[in-house]
Structure 1
Amino acid sequence: MSNIEIGNLVYLLLLGAVLLSWAFVQNRRNLGRLAQQAIAWGLIFLGTIAAIGLWDDIRGTVQPSLATVTEGNRVEVPRARDGHYYLTLEVNGTPVRFMIDTGASQVVLTRRDAERVGIAPGDLAYSGRANTANGTVRTAPVVLDDIALGPIRDRGVPAAVNEGEMDESLLGMSYLQRWGRIEIGGGALVLTR
């Protein structure tokens, strides 16, 4: 946990303590009703925390990747609500969700995704550097044995594992340049071989 997260947690605990103290003072004559209200609010709080914790799973289920492979060599990727394009590819047999980033020179995996596809981030040599919007981060070069998008399969794709924190793996040019044409228009990104 970072110092900012610890500070936020302490702030929330103090705020909760103040609110509970105020509720107790205001309702000290009706402690039974106060206990019922406290339980109800506690359940609402726990439900909210559970929904936040499961949000990525819920989002993936409700709004799965809608990429369509047509004619065997053409992929259409609709623009997501946040304005980005996302694809789920199988990397070494494991589905990984990527944000398409034409500004990234290579495929960049989060540490979590690297572990999922069989790469041990702790054993890597973080000898590379990448300049990001959040500053410079260290990266470790890797080669992805197998990447599949539907029936389209590529082998030996250069990539990097990011040592820093990333929300999403990036599908950069080391993979995208394998396509003959990349077009953006009409609310979709189209990859053609």
Structure 2
Amino acid sequence: MTGNDIGSLAYLALLGAALIAYYLAANRADLGRTLRQAMLWGLIFVGVAAAAGLWSGVRDSVVPRQSYVAEGGGRIEAPLRADGHYHLTLGINGTDIDFIVDTGASEIVLSRSDARRAGLSPDELAYVGQARTANGTTPIAGVMLDEVTLGPVTDRNVRASVNGGEMAGSLLGMSYLDRFARIEIADDRLILER
């Protein structure tokens, strides 16, 4: 927990105490009823906090993630997410990076922050290329990824780009998808087979 987190927590505790004190003072004539209501709201708050804390464990059953089925070279399935996109998590140089599958992208395009997490130095790259996107033209730098792993499938020395502009996440484009013998979208699932 950082200093900012502690400060925010202290602020919220102080604000909560002030609100409780005001509520008790305003309703002191019927204190028993007021305390029951306060306990009910406290239980609701604890329930919401518990649900938020447990969400990461429940998320995988509510929002399924990609799965791997070893059949020869490997089969990967990814469900359609609520945002209308297929997402895959690939190991890039040993670091898990989340990608949006983008058949409109020519190659793997890493955001600057994902490139940094994968061991690249985006501030030292030469952004001499250009990519045409829906938001206009953006500078890109070509890189070579030592290792790209998706489930049971590992590729070495894979070409990719690092986007010189701001990106919310990384894109998995056609140069990587073309490495699969079969790409199918059926029943809201993306299926890749080698």
Normalised-by-shorter TM-score class: 0.5 to 0.7
The answer as to whether partners of 2:111 and 2:166 remain within 8 angstroms in 1 is yes
Specify the alignment match of 2:92 in structure 1: 91
SS of alignment partner, residue 89 of structure 2: strand
2:66 aligns with 67
Mark the runs of 5 or more structure 1 residues left unpaired by the alignment.
1-31, 37-50
Distance 2:175 2:147 in 1: 13
| TM superposition shift of 1:33 | 3.6
Tell me by how many angstroms 1:59 deviates.
6.9
For 1:127 and 1:189, the matched residues in 2 are separated by: 33
CA distance 1:175–1:65, shift in 2 (3 Å): farther
Q: How far apart are 1:60 and its partner, in Å?
A: 9.7
Q: TM-score, normalised by structure 1?
A: 0.68
Distance in 2 separating the partners of 1:131 and 1:95: 27
SS in 1 for 2:114: helix
Question: Compared with structure 1, are the counterparts of its residues 76 and 167 closer, same or farther at alpha carbon in structure 2 (3 Å cutoff)?
Answer: same
**Once the 2 structures are TM-superposed, how far is the Cα of residue 62 of structure 1 from its aligned partner?**
2.7
The CA deviation at 1:149 is 1.1
Q: Is the 8 A contact 2:99 2:171 kept in 1?
A: yes
Runs of 4+ in structure 1 off by over 6 angstroms are 58-61
RMSD: 2.5
Q: How does 1:44-59 map to 2 (within 5 A)?
A: none
TM-score after normalising by structure 2: 0.67
Q: Quick check: 1:65–1:87 contact (8 Å CA) kept in 2? A: no
Tell me, yes or no, if the aligned pair for 2:76 and 2:151 is still in contact at 8 Å. no
Contact 1:91 1:148 in 2 (8 A): yes
Distance 1:115 1:146, change over 3 A: same
Identity fraction in percent: 51
Larger radius of gyration: 2
1:94-109 matched pairs, under 5 angstroms: 94-109=95-110
The residue type equivalent to 1:149 in the other structure is L
Change (3 A) 1:162 1:106: same
Aligned residues: 143
